[in-house]
Amino acid sequence: MAGLAPARLDERARIGATALGDLARGAAFLGSGGGGDPYHNRLLGEAMIARRGPFELIALDALADDALVVPCGWIGAPTVSVEKLPNGNEALRGLRRLEELLGRRIDAVLPIEIGGGNGLAPLIAAAQLGIPVVDADGMGRAFPESQMSIFSIAGLSACPSVMTDASGALVIIEAADNHTHERLARQLSIAMGGDAHMTEYPLTGRLAKAHAIPGSISTAIAAGAAIRQARAAGEDPFEALFAALRASPLYRFAGALFDGKITDLERETTRGFAIGRVTIEGFMGAGRLDIEFQNENLVARRDGKICAMVPDLITIMDRETAETITTDRLKYGQRVKVAGAAAPPMLRDAKALWMVGPSAFGLAEAFVPIEKLNGWEDL
């Protein structure tokens, strides 16, 4: 295939139905509450596998320097995506129009964010185009805004960008900077019914290899598999998950933050986001945890003291199954465990924190790594 370097055997893998389920489970965790619920994309993926066979996953290093690589995913409020189903052709139409704009074929796609449903969405697009998915992504988790990507942090442009919706609308965005691109795309997503597909940050293979977060899809699959296998063996799925994450170079610290029941929930869909807060009371009077979210969980305060904050991951999970509960599916009375993990190292340097750290979300506190807040340095 043009645009791909000769691949070693370890550079290519196949994602079948079992691995797809593992990816959905792992990507849900890495979404930190956001990225969209993976359920619908998992169903689409299973149907695609039944018709066309497994998805092709290639290593980042398998790309030729002159390959055309396109990140893509969905933009909007997760609360809308649960009820507003796509028509299935949004990604294909957007990617085909981008090919027309750039005057060449796309060689591979990757998730703009590995979190939630967006971690699976590019697989469907890749199968429709007959191209592979790169084992990498642009955020290492999910973030609510387009400019909060590793590509934007590196100074790359999101444009030209193409947005499509279920009704057949297609809009091309050319913006002077990535913050303007996000502002325009957000308003368009609202006009498109609160949920739309977007291609952005078209890259050469050289730029993808220099800046994309490598191995995030295979890490999500490993995390999801750890939960599945632990449950089947009657073992603790949370400990299995944490061990899988710690084995990855991306998420070196992981553990439990809180255990309890949801006793209060405030959530509204506004400005194209799902925004709110959730309160979890510990069992037998074991304290209280408050979490604020904007699509994704942003900050967790245990008895008034911060125990985790962006860009580190905060994920609310069913305490029996270890399945992630996304912010759009939170309900009063759910019995949950809250888990946390360190963000990939490239999201924690000063330049990245300016765009994805606490101050980017209006939080007054300076970033403190989750392992220091919880005494996990020796884990």
Tell me whether residue 227 is in a domain. Answer: no
Contact by Cβ (8 Å): 220, 114: yes
Closest C-alpha among 152, 95, 90, 142 to residue 119: 142
**CATH code for the domain of 133:** 3.40.1610.10
Report phi then psi at 258, rounded to 5.
-165, 160
Q: Within this chain, do residues 138 and 13 fall inside the same structural domain, yes or no?
A: yes
Tell me whether residue 4 is in a domain. Answer: no
Contact by Cβ (8 Å): 85, 117: no
**CATH code for the domain of 314:** 2.40.390.10
Q: Within this chain, do residues 58 and 204 fall inside the same structural domain, yes or no?
A: yes
Tell me whether residue 52 is in a domain. Answer: yes
Q: What integer best gives the mean pLDDT of the chain?
A: 93
Tell me whether residue 155 is in a domain. Answer: yes
Q: Within this chain, do residues 90 and 38 fall inside the same structural domain, yes or no?
A: yes
Q: Within this chain, do residues 158 and 68 fall inside the same structural domain, yes or no?
A: yes
Q: Please, which pLDDT band fits residue 9 given cuts at 50, 70 and 90?
A: very low
Q: Which domain holds residue 356?
A: 251-374
Q: Within this chain, do residues 39 and 128 fall inside the same structural domain, yes or no?
A: yes
Q: Within this chain, do residues 212 and 349 fall inside the same structural domain, yes or no?
A: no
pLDDT digits (tens, 9 = 90+) for 322-368: 999 999 999 999 999 999 999 999 999 999 999 999 999 999 999 99
Q: Within this chain, do residues 197 and 265 fall inside the same structural domain, yes or no?
A: no
pLDDT digits (tens, 9 = 90+) for 202-237: 999 999 999 999 999 999 999 999 999 999 999 999
Among 169, 194, 216, give the residue marking a domain's end: 216
Tell me whether residue 209 is in a domain. Answer: yes
Q: Within this chain, do residues 34 and 183 fall inside the same structural domain, yes or no?
A: yes
Q: Within this chain, do residues 66 and 201 fall inside the same structural domain, yes or no?
A: yes
Q: Is the pLDDT of residue 63 over 80?
A: yes
Q: Is the pLDDT of residue 28 over 50?
A: yes
Tell me whether residue 318 is in a domain. Answer: yes
**Whole-number pLDDT of residue 270:** 84
Tell me whether residue 231 is in a domain. Answer: no
Q: Within this chain, do residues 196 and 136 fall inside the same structural domain, yes or no?
A: yes
pLDDT digits (tens, 9 = 90+) for 242-301: 999 999 999 999 999 999 999 999 999 888 888 999 999 999 889 999 999 999 999 999
pLDDT digits (tens, 9 = 90+) for 285-324: 899 999 999 999 999 999 999 999 999 999 999 999 999 9
Q: Within this chain, do residues 212 and 257 fall inside the same structural domain, yes or no?
A: no
What's the domain count of the chain?
A: 2
Report which residue type is found at 176. Answer: A
Tell me whether residue 255 is in a domain. Answer: yes
Q: Within this chain, do residues 205 and 258 fall inside the same structural domain, yes or no?
A: no
